[in-house]
Amino acid sequence: MDFSFSFPNVSIIVVNYNGKKYLKDCLDSINLLDYPKERVETIVIDNGSTDLSVEFIKESYPKVKIIENDKNIGFAPAVNQGAKAAGGKYIAILNNDTRVDSKWLIELIKPIYEYNQVVCTGSKVLSWDGKKIDFVGSMVNFEGKGFQIDYGFPIEHDKYTEDKYYLFVNGSSMLVDKEVFLNVGGFDEDFFAYYEDVDFGWRLWILGYKVIFTPKSIVYHHHHGTSYRYGHDRHRYLMERNSLYTIYKNYSDKNLGKIFSSSLLTQLSRVFVETELSSDSYKINYKGDVKEKEELSRLSGSSLLATKEFIQNLDKLKQKREWIQANRKRSDNVIFNYFKGEFLA
């Protein structure tokens, strides 16, 4: 291997919650990395698993450092736990339901040495069998919702071979300078899970750093292998709430005033479309039977509860927003170039 830098120490952070069935493939692939073993530590943060994950790791991978939580504290807080315990100069955040290519790590590190201001890099993510695209780049809409370019397309559509700047890279496989990660606040722990990578990438750009996708670093992923167990209603609740958190914190004052109300109305309009709620019985001249209660699905209710929780946490969000905006180094107009997509709902 011929590189123009010595191999920096890296801490690989894997968050696990009842993912024992995935851990062997993940941890075995880490052991096969084309990277000096003495320069790598693996930290598994276990979020109260009940499937004997911890016992399996202790028995089969005694060199892996384990942080045990007595309950599921969420992905974002667990990553922050790992970062604070990490001894490496860089932290590599990796989903437990992945396996990595042998050059995964070195290819994640290279761009940090090749490009100015780059402190965060992300991998190309493929389906477990390598036949479909999972992540080859990102888009963000005005609501703060992140999307994966060409997700689910056959691998034959993969034309992404060059490093490219994006607002964010996929949290299932990213590398970031540990000192920067901690100094900017890490992942927002109020997110629990979902869109913490969007929020983090956006924050880095605001604060003067850069984020880059590097397709030579390759990961294979069981997409949502350990996340959809929560159910679609809880999944939507987190995504709707976290997108509100993201845009509230990160837009400039000027753009927040223009965009936030539209985003909130778009989110709420989906509820009315899904419930097919009619206003007829609410009109003064309505003569028919009136139901005392209207039915609302859990999926629709999740959007309303997301809005409610945003309002409840507004004081804390204001404090976060004030810090981000006070330390702003780039304008929204510059950052919008990295949203990549149209501002569509």
Q: Dump pLDDT digits (tens) for 235-255.
A: 999 999 999 999 999 999 999
- pTM for the structure as a whole: 0.92
Q: Which residue has the higher pLDDT, 181 or 234?
A: 181
Query: Does residue 1 carry a pLDDT above 50?
Result: no
Joined tokens for residue 215: 């397709």
Of the candidates 105, 74, 76, 102, the one whose C-alpha atom is nearest the C-alpha of residue 90 is: 105
Domain-wise residue ranges, the chain: 10-229, 232-277+291-326
Could you identify the residue written with the tokens 């992945």?
98
Strand partners, 91: 11, 176
Look at residues 142, 197, 196 and name the one whose alpha carbon lies nearest to residue 166.
197
Provide CB contacts within 8 A for 71, sequence distance 6+: 47, 48
Whole-number Å distance between alpha carbons of 49 and 238: 21
Query: 10-229 belongs to which CATH class?
Result: alpha beta
Q: What is the pLDDT of residues 114-159, one digit of tens each?
A: 999 999 999 999 999 999 999 999 999 999 999 999 999 999 999 9
User: Helix, strand or coil for residue 171?
Assistant: coil
**Residues 6+ positions from 220 with CB-CB distance below 8 Å:** 98, 99, 100, 101, 125, 126, 127, 128, 129, 130
Judged against a pLDDT cut of 70, whether residue 2 lies above it is answered with no
From the number of C-beta atoms within 10 Å of its C-beta (0-12, 13-18, 19+), residue 125 rates as buried
How many Å apart are CA 101 and CA 94, to the nearest integer?
A: 12
3 state SS of 243: helix
**pLDDT for the residue numbered 4:** 57
CA separation for the pair 202, 140 (Å, rounded): 10
One-letter identity of residue 305: L
- Cβ atoms of 180 and 112 closer than 8 Å: no
Most confident of the ranges 193-202, 288-297, 299-308 = 193-202
Token pair of 321 as six digits: 């927003």
Tell me the CA distances in angstroms from 269 to 91, 135, 146, 277, one per residue in order.
40, 29, 19, 11
Residue 204's pLDDT is: 99
- The pLDDT-based confidence of 270 (bands split at 50, 70, 90) is confident
